[in-house]
Amino acid sequence: MEHKNTTVRLLLIASIMLFACTSMADDQIGVTGIDPTIPDRPVIHQPARIGSPLQVDQYRHVDYLSPWFDQTDDWELIASDSFSVMIPAGDHLAVSFDPGTEILQIIDPTVELTATQMAAIERAPAWLRSDLYDNFRRFLYPFLADSMALRILGAPDPYVDEVAFQVAHIAPTTLCAMYYQLFLENAQWIYTADSSLNYVELMDYGNSNDDDYWTTARYSVIEEIGDTVQVEIDREIYYWYILHPKLSDEFPTYIYPENGNPAQPPWGVFWRDYLWNHADPGYPLLSEQFDDCDFLWARGTGPNDAIGTVNGWVGDVMAWGAGPERPIQPVRIYVLHCGNCGEYSDIRAAAGRIALIPTVCTTNFCEDHVWNEFWEREWIHWDGGSVNTPLMYENSWGKTLSAVFNWRGDGFNWNVTDRYSEEFCTLNVSVYDSAGKPADGYSITVESDALWGGSFYATWAVTNSQGVASIILGDDQSFMLRLDGPLGGYPSVGGLVSVITGSQAGAAYNWEHTMSSASPNLGVMQMIEPPNPDDDYMMEITFDCEYESTYGMFYDNNEFTEKLTPGYVDFFFADEENYNAYCGFQQAWVGGPFENSSSGEFDFVIPTSEEWYGVFSAREESITCPMVSGTVNIYRSLPTSVSCEDYPTQPLSFDINGVFPNPFNNETVISFSLPSSERIRIAIYNLLGQEVATLTDQIYAGGMYNVRWDGRNDLGHMITSGIYLVRMNSEHNQAIQKICYMR
């Protein structure tokens, strides 16, 4: 009875969502050849400033060694573990060690999934599991995710990876409204086409009995000099741009040819099977066009290739000029046999993927044109018979392009403006919360003047964990934008901000905005060094933040996932009391913190006998989830019985012995030693050799000393973030060490 009730609930929800998608399909029209209208909205003028380009993808590695680490100690490894975890926004991952019990633990924030979902993840290839987990956890109802998992568990070889990829890379709201048999049939049709095409061969590496396996494709290509070469594409290109059932803004489903609405088979058909195996009277059958086609593409002049074959078929089945109906479903476009560039782009993309050509839809909204690109070691411009001539729109057609982007099947769009415009500029957008901290996960909608009047969408972007996004735009255009994100929208009334008027070629425009709300604060402060630290155990942590996943919706209301590199995460050490304070959102005193780190190597000598934690935190993130992988080793200090006679005391040297913490953002301690009495001057310099601050200038007796620095210059002002030099001078000696300050 429970199974029956679950099935009824599933069918009810899917029916409601399918009805909504059917209504949406009726209302949607082609992306060009129309006059899309957006209601007039208020415009605020806040011009961007021309300046230096922002570093939006700066990799940050941190090395740390405890200041009480004794180089003469011997250590033995007593425990080890590894982790690879996507940390949910606002949460944390921790590794803990209790010196009393010598127990090492990893505190994993991973959301628990159902047994069915976990079984599907286990059956999927290893490289796909984190993506599949991420999509499953985003389902509103677990039983709907279970229904997707069952499709993976029931898929036969060699289609398991293809089915799993589709489930992992279609938005959950879209998945719930699809006919589930489409996942397997879509994969099967690819293998059917492969058996009929001479220029391509699917390459299966392993199968579902292996831990990791994947599929890709190998092509015959003619080089410009006439040589024939074999080219194998990356698996990402195969899965996203051959397999994926969604081309641009259409809904991926079976379509009833007579009206273009979603319909269950046998009344509904999918474009991959329909266009390959069906021909209306008087039109050529696509599957019969490739008999003499032995090459994907001839870069120079040469024999007939697959690109030319698809162009010929599209020209035979389509007539230029759209009627009153502007469909976006390839099946319906074929039935009508006419259209403008929007319909041509959609049916060319479908025919390309049917013929196992990696194909995308390319869009330039504001200047009212769309076309395609295909992949052959790079993305190649493809607009019917015009191939690899991306500058023709500006140089031959006389257009000045505002922005150009490509579609991905999960709703993400990526900017390719620089491929189609000889002159372009960059708009760097920085978003902060009310406390001045970066605001992540903000969708940036950029609009420009539309060919038909008013303004329309030009392109989109999303801020990373540093609150920054960089957008390439055309020159000699005006641009407006809008922000939408977890702290609210701006402008709040749904309007736009005018940021660029008459964009200048080569210019870097910087625009920033501070929201009126605050995001969560990390809530930790740098601890004071223990007066007599223990040195019985050491925690060694090595980690890499491989990427950070962000989420958003652009044009077609599909929530995409985009992996941004490098990723960033905050890290610190804390004893049990302060770890509990951190978890309770109370002020905590910690070792570090080391904020916005992409990777790191930490050797932390545990200074007390209580339990200690190494914490990777995403508390300050609202949307972004860092993917962190690493290892943790625990060492025990070995007792030594070496006598003073056997191991004589080494004389002190003139040296900077250490800087802790490094990097720092509050205060750091510089330790130094002297073999004898002399006058010592310690100062901070920037990398240009300019003195920033003097820390001490006096006579010291031989021995070991500490000086502190709070990041201020000699005028009492806080310095900017960056690398500096600590220089220690006497009359005859000098020592230098790098130090990193991060605000």
Report the CATH number at residue 632: 2.60.120
pLDDT at 4 over 70: no
Question: Residue 738 and residue 659: Cα distance in Å, rounded?
Answer: 9
Please indicate whether residue 300 or residue 282 has the higher confidence score (pLDDT). Answer: 282
Range scoring the smallest mean pLDDT among 85-94, 609-618, 640-649, 721-730 = 640-649
Please indicate, yes or no, whether residues 257 and 299 belong to a single structural domain of this protein. Answer: yes
Per-residue pLDDT of 25-78, as tens digits, reads 333 343 454 446 566 778 999 999 998 776 666 778 888 877 766 655 688 999
- pLDDT tier at 225, thresholds 50, 70, 90: confident
Question: Residue 248 and residue 253: Cα distance in Å, rounded?
Answer: 13
Tokens representing residue 712 in the block: 């201020």
Sign of CA dihedral 371, 373, 379, 380: negative
Please indicate, yes or no, whether residues 682 and 723 belong to a single structural domain of this protein. Answer: yes
pLDDT at 301 over 80: no
Please indicate, yes or no, whether residues 502 and 365 belong to a single structural domain of this protein. Answer: no
- pLDDT tier at 240, thresholds 50, 70, 90: very high
**Residue in the block written with tokens 């390439």:** 472
Please indicate, yes or no, whether residues 309 and 386 belong to a single structural domain of this protein. Answer: yes
Helix, coil or strand: residue 742 = coil
Mean pLDDT of the chain: 89
Give the structural domain span for 595.
Answer: 61-109+521-638
3-state helix, strand, coil split of the chain in percent (to 5) is 20, 35, 45
**Residue in the block written with tokens 């003028």:** 45
Please indicate, yes or no, whether residues 442 and 397 belong to a single structural domain of this protein. Answer: no
Please indicate, yes or no, whether residues 326 and 458 belong to a single structural domain of this protein. Answer: no
Question: Residue 274 and residue 260: Cα distance in Å, rounded?
Answer: 13
Name beta bridge partners: 626.
548
Please indicate, yes or no, whether residues 448 and 560 belong to a single structural domain of this protein. Answer: no
- Decide if 533 is inside a domain: yes
What's the CA dihedral at 308, 311, 317, 319 to 10 degrees?
A: -140
Please indicate, yes or no, whether residues 285 and 366 belong to a single structural domain of this protein. Answer: yes
User: Which pTM value belongs to this model?
Assistant: 0.82
Question: Residue 591 and residue 607: Cα distance in Å, rounded?
Answer: 11
Name beta bridge partners: 371.
362
pLDDT at 338 over 70: yes
How much is the pLDDT for 37?
Answer: 59
Range scoring the smallest mean pLDDT among 67-71, 229-233, 236-240, 575-579 = 67-71
pLDDT at 172 over 60: yes
Distances (CA, A) of 441 to 480, 548, 626, 627: 19, 11, 12, 16
- Decide if 155 is inside a domain: no
Q: Would you give the distance in Å from CA 353 to the centre of its chain? A: 25
**Residue in the block written with tokens 């957006």:** 38
- Decide if 129 is inside a domain: no
- Decide if 122 is inside a domain: no
- Decide if 508 is inside a domain: yes
Alpha helices in 155-277 (DSSP H): 160-168, 172-176, 181-194, 235-238, 271-277
- Decide if 715 is inside a domain: yes
Per-residue pLDDT of 633-650, as tens digits, reads 999 988 654 443 443 445
Question: Residue 733 and residue 737: Cα distance in Å, rounded?
Answer: 14
Tokens representing residue 462 in the block: 């999303």
How much is the pLDDT for 11?
Answer: 40
Question: Residue 601 and residue 613: Cα distance in Å, rounded?
Answer: 15
Question: Residue 621 and residue 119: Cα distance in Å, rounded?
Answer: 30
Tokens representing residue 496 in the block: 């736009």
Q: What is the CATH number of the domain that holds 505?
A: 2.60.40.2190
pLDDT at 263 over 90: yes
pLDDT at 666 over 80: no
How much is the pLDDT for 20?
Answer: 40
pLDDT at 7 over 70: no
CB of 595 closer than 8 Å to CB of 522: yes
Please indicate, yes or no, whether residues 694 and 674 belong to a single structural domain of this protein. Answer: yes
Helix, coil or strand: residue 16 = helix
Please indicate, yes or no, whether residues 270 and 384 belong to a single structural domain of this protein. Answer: yes
Share of the chain above pLDDT 70, in %: 91
Tokens representing residue 131 in the block: 């993506």
Final residue of a structural domain among 461, 496, 514: 514
The pLDDT of 472-482, averaged and rounded, is: 97
Half-sphere exposure of 134 (CA within 13 A, CB side): 28
- Decide if 218 is inside a domain: yes
Final residue of a structural domain among 386, 409, 432: 409
Please indicate, yes or no, whether residues 341 and 380 belong to a single structural domain of this protein. Answer: yes
- pLDDT tier at 249, thresholds 50, 70, 90: very high
Phi/psi for 548 (5° steps) reads: -130, 135
Long-range CB contacts for residues 38-42, cutoff 8 Å, separation at least 24: 38/454, 38/455, 38/456, 40/454, 41/493, 41/494, 41/495, 41/496, 42/491, 42/493, 42/495, 42/496
How much is the pLDDT for 414?
Answer: 95
Please indicate whether residue 7 or residue 579 has the higher confidence score (pLDDT). Answer: 579
Tokens representing residue 504 in the block: 């200048």
Q: What is the CATH number of the domain that holds 319?
A: 3.10.620
Q: Is 536 left (phi over 0), alpha (psi -120 to 50) or beta?
A: alpha
Please indicate whether residue 708 or residue 346 has the higher confidence score (pLDDT). Answer: 346
User: Between vectors from CA 494 to CA 492 and to CA 496, what angle results, nearest 5°?
Assistant: 95
- Decide if 340 is inside a domain: yes
CA max distance for the chain = 102
- Helix (H) or strand (E) run with residue 299 in it: none
- pLDDT tier at 624, thresholds 50, 70, 90: very high
Final residue of a structural domain among 385, 409, 433: 409
Question: Residue 638 and residue 36: Cα distance in Å, rounded?
Answer: 75
Structural domains of the chain, count: 4
CB of 175 closer than 8 Å to CB of 167: yes
Contacts of residue 693, defined as CB under 8 A and 6 or more positions apart, other chains included, come to: 683, 684, 709, 712, 713, 714, 719
Per-residue pLDDT of 117-133, as tens digits, reads 999 999 999 999 999 99
DSSP label of 567: -
Please indicate, yes or no, whether residues 385 and 254 belong to a single structural domain of this protein. Answer: yes
- Helix (H) or strand (E) run with residue 349 in it: helix 341-354
Per-residue pLDDT of 384-432, as tens digits, reads 999 999 999 999 999 999 999 999 999 999 999 999 999 999 999 999 9
